[in-house]
């Protein structure tokens, strides 16, 4: 769904434009063109996500992230390490 946000709309249009170019180059079996269009396409993914991170609120709360302990053969795991981790 398009947000009422001109930048988001821009990225959405750009994404579609690059996707059409990629499809057209694919049909023409133009590998160089398709590679170039693909790079432009995934650049749009990253740019739009950067924009959304700055202006949209996606997650209600910051996630409680922590490193997942890797079991080793050295010593026993502590109770802290055995606790299930919410992902
Ligand atoms: C026009 C803006 C825009 C473009 C372009 C875009 N995204 Fe996103 N993407 C979003 C937004 C906004 C969300 C968060 C949606 C939500 O949480 O409701 C999202 C979410 C995601 C997610 C998380 C999905 C999930 O279920 O949590 C992935 C993965 C993703 N995008 C990958 C991509 C990839 C790969 C591309 C390019 C091929 C891309 N996006 C292009 C805006 C965009």
Q: Specify the ligand 1 atom closest to the Cα of 14.
A: 5
CA of 18 to the centre of ligand 1 (A): 16
Q: Specify the ligand 1 atom closest to the Cα of 45.
A: 41
- Rounded to whole angstroms, how far apart are CA atoms 43 and 70? 34
Can you give the pLDDT at residue 7?
A: 85
Whether residue 58 has its Cβ less than 6 Å from ligand 1: yes
pLDDT tens for 4-52 read 778 888 999 999 999 999 999 999 999 999 999 999 999 999 999 888 8
**Maximum Cα interatomic distance, the chain, rounded to a whole number of Å:** 60
pLDDT tens for 55-65 read 766 556 666 77
The residue whose CA is least distant from atom 7 of ligand 1 is 45
- Rounded to whole angstroms, how far apart are CA atoms 22 and 62? 36
Query: Mutate which of 9, 16, 48, 55 to test ligand 1's pocket (most atoms within 8 Å of Cβ)?
Result: 48
Distant-in-sequence, close-in-space partners of 40: CB < 8 Å, separation ≥ 6: 18, 21
b/e burial code for range 15-48 (CB count within 10 A of at least 16 → b): beebeebbeebeeeeeeeebeebbebbeebeeeb
């Amino acid at each position: 769904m398009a947000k009422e946000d001109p930048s988001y709309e821009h990225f959405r249009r750009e994404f579609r434009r690059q996707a059409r170019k990629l499809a057209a180059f694919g049909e023409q079996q133009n590998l160089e063109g398709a590679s170039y269009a693909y790079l432009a396409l995934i650049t749009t993914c990253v740019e739009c996500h950067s924009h959304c991170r700055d202006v949209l609120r996606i997650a209600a709360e910051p996630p409680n992230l922590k490193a997942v302990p890797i079991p080793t053969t050295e010593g026993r795991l502590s109770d802290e390490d055995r606790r299930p981790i919410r992902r």
